[in-house]
Amino acid sequence: MDTTDIWSTIAVERTRLAHLLAGLTEPEWDTPSLCDGWRIRHVAAHVIMPATTSRPAMVLEMVRARGNFNRMVDTTARRGGDRPTADILADFQTHAGSRRRPPGTTPLDPLMDTLVHSQDIAIPLGRDHPMPVTAGVAVARHIHGRGFPFHAARRFAGMTFVATDAQLELGSGREVRGPVAAIVLTLTGRTALLDRFTGPGVDHPALNP
């Protein structure tokens, strides 16, 4: 995917997520997500936050968090998510096509956030929200090739992930096969789709937390 494709996909996926969110009841907004300690509303606010926040404002949030990235992310998600749901939805409607991104990131990072957090929302709600395969492949490669915050290549050393629905092979070692969505979520430390994998590598300690 080139940069134009990435941003176009981000806009489409934010819009798809907004459509899902618009159909939720208030109790569903308060359902625990796949992100520890966050409800659906907090994840939704986190997804759209980079699109609504200027770079100087992001830097200020980091200063307030004393340089602690995880603290900054948690604080902004909770603050944004505790607003009325109509305000969160309005952010999606207004800023789905925004190309803002935090300092030090690439366009693949908001794409990753959008794809992964859409599943953090959809799976606990029992909603079918397919991950676009081409974008998922790009995100899987991005995650596997980076260090912080997932350190996926190190965590899954000795394993080869092979997608069953796309041309994707990551790593070296005992093979595990599964859909791109399962690979993406697993590389980011989620366990929700571990049951989608088959192959001789399924007994790897990292797949059996």
pLDDT of residue 68: 85
> In three state form, how does the secondary structure of the chain look?
CCHHHHHHHHHHHHHHHHHHHHCCCHHHHCCECCCCCCEHHHHHHHHHHHHHCCHHHHHHHHHHCCCCHHHHHHHHHHHHHCCCHHHHHHHHHHHCCCCCCCCCCCCHHHHHHHHHHHHHHHHHHCCCCCCCHHHHHHHHHHHHCCCCCCCHHHHCCEEEEEECCCCCEEECEEEEEECHHHHHHHHCCCCCCHHHCECHHHHCHHHCC
**Domains of the chain by range and CATH?**
3-105 (no CATH), 133-207 (3.30.1050)
Q: What's the CA gap between 160 and 187, in Å, rounded?
A: 12
pLDDT of residue 168: 98
pLDDT value at residue 176: 98
Q: What is the pLDDT of residue 65?
A: 87
pLDDT per residue as tens, the chain (209 positions): 999 999 999 999 999 999 999 999 999 999 999 999 999 999 999 999 999 988 888 888 888 888 888 899 899 999 999 999 999 999 999 999 999 998 889 999 999 999 999 999 999 999 999 999 999 999 999 999 998 899 999 999 999 999 999 999 999 999 999 999 999 999 999 999 999 999 999 999 999 98
The pLDDT score that the predictor gives to residue 178 is 99
